[in-house]
Structures are given as structure tokens and as C-alpha cells.
Amino acid sequence: MTQAADIKKIGIIGSGQMGGGIAQVCAVGGFDVYLADISEDALDRAKALIAKRLGRQVDKGTLSAEDRDAALARVATGQAYEALGECQLVIEAATEDEDVKRAIFKELVPHLNKDALIATNTSSISITRMAAITDRPERFIGMHFMNPVPVMKLVEIIRGIATSEETFNTVRDLAIALGKTTAMAEDFPAFIVNRILLPMINEAVYTLYEGVGSVESIDTAIKLGANHPMGPLELADFIGLDTCLSIMNVLYDGLADSKYRPCPLLVKYVEAGWLGRKVGRGFYDYSGETPVPTR
């Protein structure tokens, strides 16, 4: 069975905000990384962003130039899944869409070493259900990093019903080796963080939808009234409104409780393509120097 000490090379599928961040943390932690994506442009952007973030760490004195160069040298990228056969662990970090993830796992499995572990960075989808379509449900686990990965300390570790104790221990030890603090969650919709966080965000959208307060008033009230570093609507834009809606739908479908019904205004923003910071418009417009509320 693969132990944490056996892991030398980590594959990451998906080079977006989460995948790129995971790749950076793994490379700084001394692991060789193969970052895979269907888009060469996305891989180029991810490599440039990793270099930029590591450069900022050097400027702040939290990372030496030598360690930055060594970390960058550990990151290889490509579109071919064949290279993932050299990895002892593969972390899937694609978009929060179960159909997309299932397609990835079906394509991935034939290329893997027989002892390789699979982790998914899903923030809400059933680990048990995804593990069941692979040839190794006992070696499949949820490893939910928080965004932005290089800054946030937490990793949720989620066991599926078939996940072995050895897999759990190996992945937990790896997360700790990456400098993260782990929280263990059971395999219920949205796990711990998003089970609590997303209904709060959804309720903030309802508060806006019902005219209780403006975008600015709601965010100011929660930042100063509850001592949160970001208001809930600002945070929703940071997460991505499409991701917020996806997680609320997982909660609503999985728990069959009307309290998880996505706010119609959240649905409307997603239908409009106003997905938050990543597209320049959500509950705020980010086209100028200072974000401006859109309602």
C-alpha cells in the first residue's frame, strides 16, 4: 500500500485557480508535479501565475530565490494522461461538475499505476459515488483544499464508504507534510465547510433579493457585525457564482430540504454569465479600480 513517504510525484488534473494552487503548494513542498489540462493556454496561464506568486514570496522574504527556482523546475505540464502513470497520487481539480469529473476518472484509470491513489478536490460531490466508477474505490478519497490554496491552511479529508484506512492515513499525512491543517469530514453533501458557508451566502443573496439591504449594506453588516474578513456577496464573487449555485444544488438535491433552495437571484446572475471576479462582474463590477455594486 502506498504510504506518504512513497509519494514522490503528484499528478494534478485541471490547471485553474485550484489546480494551479495545489501544484504550487506540492512543488514548494518538494514533490515533482505533473499538471494536466485539455487547454495548453490554461497551462501557460497557470505556470505564469505560479511563477508570479512565488516571485512575490521571494520579494517578501518568505521564500529564497533558490527554493523558488527549484519549485518551478519540479512542475511539468501537458495534455497527455499517459504521464500520470508515473504518479503515486493524482488529484483531480476540474470544475465542480460531476459529469466532467466522472469522464476524467474513466479516462484516467487505464493510465494509472496499480497502487496509485486518486483524490478529488470536490467541494461538495459524493466521494462514494465517484469512487464507484473507478477500479480502486478503496484508494479513492476527497482532498478538499481551500481557495486560495497557497494561503489557506485547511484541507478537508473526506472518506467514501469504501476508502481504506491506509489511504486515509496516507493522504492526511501528505496534507500535513504540505503544511496544511486537516479536518475530517463524513461523505455527506458539501461536507463541513460548504455545508455551513454556502447556505450563509445563499441567505445573503435572499436578503438582497427581498430588498432587506443593498449589496454594500449586506457586506458591511457581516464584515463589521460578525467580524468576517469578507462580506458574503464579495466572497460569493471570489468563489464564483456558478460554483456557489452548483454547491447549493448539491445540498438541495442531496438533502431534500427546502432551506437549501438556491435563491432565484443567484440563478439569474449565473444565467446572465455574471459569475464574479473571474469574468469581471457578479454582485460587483470589477472593471474599474474599485469594485462597484451591480445592485
Q: What is the pLDDT of residues 247-293, one digit of tens each?
A: 999 999 999 999 999 999 999 999 999 999 999 999 999 999 999 99
> Which residue, of 162, 185, 208, is where some domain finishes?
185
Using CA atoms, how far residue 100 sits from 2, 107, 207, 275, in Å, is 27, 11, 32, 19
| Catalytic site includes residue 111 | no
> What's the whole-model pTM score?
0.90
**What are the φ and ψ backbone dihedral angles of 282, each rounded to 5 degrees?**
-155, -120
Residues in Cβ contact with 28 at an 8 Å cutoff, skipping those fewer than 6 apart: 54, 63, 67, 71, 150
Q: Which of 123, 124, 126, 202 is catalytic?
A: 123
* Other residues' Cβ atoms within 10 Å of the Cβ of residue 223: 15
- What is the domain range of residue 204? 194-283
Statement to judge: residues 153 and 45 lie in one domain: yes
Amino acid 52: pLDDT: 96
Q: Among candidates 190, 19, 8, 161, which has minimal Cα distance to 87?
A: 8
Q: Which of 15, 121, 124, 144 is catalytic?
A: 144
Statement to judge: residues 36 and 127 lie in one domain: yes
Q: Which of 15, 96, 124, 156 is catalytic?
A: 156
Number of domains in the chain: 2
| Catalytic site includes residue 123 | yes
Grade residue 1 by pLDDT with cuts at 50, 70 and 90. low
Q: Among candidates 156, 140, 159, 116, which has minimal Cα distance to 6?
A: 116
Q: What is the CATH number of the domain that holds 219?
A: 1.10.1040.10
| Catalytic site includes residue 96 | no
Q: Which of 194, 202, 234, 246 is catalytic?
A: 194
| Catalytic site includes residue 156 | yes
Q: How far is Cα 131 from Cα 55, in angstroms, rounded to an integer?
A: 38
